[in-house]
Amino acid sequence: MQIDVSGKTALVTGSTQGIGAAIAVGLAGSGARVGVNGRSEDTVSRAIGEIAERVPGAELVPVVADVTTDAGVDAALTALPDIDILVNNLGVFGAAEALSIDDDEWRRYFEVNVLSAVRLIRTYLPGMMQRGWGRVLDIASDSAIVIPREMIHYGMSKTALLAVSRGFAKEAAGTGVTVNSVIAGPTHTGGVEDFVYELVDRSLPWDEAQREFMRLHRPQSLLQRLIEPEEIANLVVYLSSPLASATTGAAVRVDGGYVDSIVP
């Protein structure tokens, strides 16, 4: 199976590290022109350099913008007026005692994890529909379905993102544009390493800490390890390609079997 997105332009939000950077690498490696997004010139420039090393000859566009704001969306639109592939990867997460989460924090999670995606879809989807081709991917989480006790606010935002994806897929029905969400399982990123050490003994070496975290906090994982960002990116790149033309309105799992369901 040859995945080819040559001639397509993609925007991956929050793509200076972690899952977003892996998605940017995957899309660039499959021929796409990729907008690399972050909030500062330094982080975007560094990420572009790292991606270019991994994908020689990649066409990469710096998109320095805080896409959680209207001004940031305008900046993204200036950098990339038309795109074919939108990957809403940007998100925040963290552990908090349920009864300690105040209104401002609930709003922050909704603004960053949900409304940033809505704004960008509202900005770019009409052009995709007019041109008769496009892909929108919203990076959700197993926490959308299995709400973690220590991250209720995060789970809420990712559940909302599933609804956003399904609803906009209906808006784009019959146009050649697909809209899907990707349910990512517990993934090994720098931010997740910090999160793991919030919940297990900080004196443990990483391999032991990871196993302890999965045993205590994610015991239903069939993979029994954290997923690597590239494994998430593989599915996103496929769903971004012409090969996935009949998949839309779906919540597609790459969760290591974490969600205890036989239904995708």
In the chain, alpha helices (H) = 18-29, 41-54, 70-79, 103-110, 116-131, 152-171, 190-199, 206-217, 229-239
The residues, any chain, with a CB within 8 Å of residue 256's CB and separated by 6 or more, are 185, 186, 221, 222, 223, 224, 225, 227
pLDDT of residue 62: 98
Average pLDDT over residues 28-43: 98
Superfamily classification of domain 9-185+232-249: NAD(P)-binding Rossmann-like Domain (3.40.50.720)
Say whether 14 sits in a helix, a strand or coil.
Answer: coil
Please tell me which residue in 109, 124, 154, 258 is annotated as part of the active site: 154
Determine whether 154 is an active site residue: yes
pLDDT digits (tens, 9 = 90+) for 81-131: 999 999 999 999 988 999 999 999 999 999 999 999 999 999 999 999 999
Domain ranges of the chain: 9-185+232-249, 188-226
For the sheet with 60-64, list strands across it.
Answer: 60-64, 33-38, 9-12, 85-88, 134-141, 177-184, 251-254
pLDDT of residue 190: 80
Q: Is the pTM of this model over 0.85?
A: yes
pLDDT at residue 233 tops 90: yes
